[in-house]
A and B are shown apart, each in its own frame.
Chain A
C-alpha cells in the first residue's frame, strides 16, 4: 500500500567532511611542530609540519566558507552585533580565528629566531588547535535529536581522528627519520586503538538505542554507507593499518608510511560516514 511521504534533504552535506578532514590534519601537524620544542624526535617536523599545517588551515577556512550558501556573509560570524554565544558554531568560528592568529604569531617568532617566544606561541597555538577537533565533535553532539551525533564521545573521537590523520601525513614529511617514525608509529597505534574502541562502543550503543538509533545503525552498516563506514573506515582504514603497524614490516619507515596511506583513507571515510549516516533517518521524518 502506498504511503505518501515528503522527503527532506540532509542538513549538512558531505562537503563538510572535507573540512573536518583538512582541519584535523592541520591541527595535528601544528601540535607535532609544537611538540618539537619539548621532544627532540619531532625536530624535523618543526618547520615542515607547521608550514603544511598553515596551508591546510587556510584551505580549511576556505572550504568552510564555500560550504555556506551565502559565502560572502561569513563576516557576519565575526560581527559582534550578530554573534550569538549560545550557538556552538559561534565559538567554533572564534576558535578558528584565534588559532589562525596564534599560527601567524608562531610563524613570526620562529622566523625571527626568538625561541623563547616561539615556544610560548607554540603551546598556546597547540591548545587552541586542540579546541578545533573538540569543537567539530561538539558541533555534532549538540543536536539532541540525532542518534550517533548526540553522544559525548564525538569530541574525543574527533581528537583521536585528528591525531591519526595528522600522524599519517607527518610520516610523509619525516623523510624516513628513524626516531621520528618510531614516535609517529606510536601515535598511530594509540590514537588508532582509541578510535577503534570508541567506534565499537558507538556501534553497540547505537544498535541498542531507540527506533531512530536502531534504524541509523542499519543505514550505517549496510549498503553503500556500510561499505564506506565499516569497509573503508573501520576495516581498510583502521584495522588493516593497525595490523600492519604491529607486523615486523610496520616498524620500517615504508611500513609506517603505507599504514599512513590507509589511515588517511579511513580517516576521510569515517568522518564522511559519521557526518552523513546519522542524518539519513531524519530525511524520512
Chain B
C-alpha cells in the first residue's frame, strides 16, 4: 500500500483499530495446526511467523512475484493475498511438505541438477508452482511452461534452467 495515500486517509489523532484475534486451524503438510492470528495476518505471515515454516518467501506482499506460492486444497495460491483466517479448515502444502520420508520431490532434485536457482529466494515458489503445473497437465511444451511459470519472478534470471528442470520431470511422468 502506498504510504502517502494511507496517510491522507488517516487524520492526526485518529486511533488505530483494536486488535482482533481469531483462532484458525489448518492442516499443514499433513498435520493439524492450530493458531490464533490477527485478522489482518496473511496466510504467508501465519506460516512464516506463526508456524515457523520460513521456506515460503515474501517477495512483494502484493501478489505480483509468486515467491509466496503454496498449495491450498491442492491448488496454487499466493499466500500473501490470502488471509490466514480465510484458510481455516483447509489443507495447506508448503515447500517443507514436498519431501516424502526424507526423499526430495523429483522437481526438487531436478532443480538441483539443472541449476534452476541462484540465490534461492524465489525457489520455493517456483517449485510449488511447477508441481501444480505438472499435476494440472500444463507443462506439455517449453512454451507452455514458460507461459504458466511467468507469475513466478526470478531476478537472478534462472529461467532457462527452471524450464529445463520442469521439462525433464514433466516428460518423465514420475511426478505423482
Question: Are these two chains actual partners, yes or no?
Answer: no
**Chain B residues packing against A (C-beta within 8 Å):** none
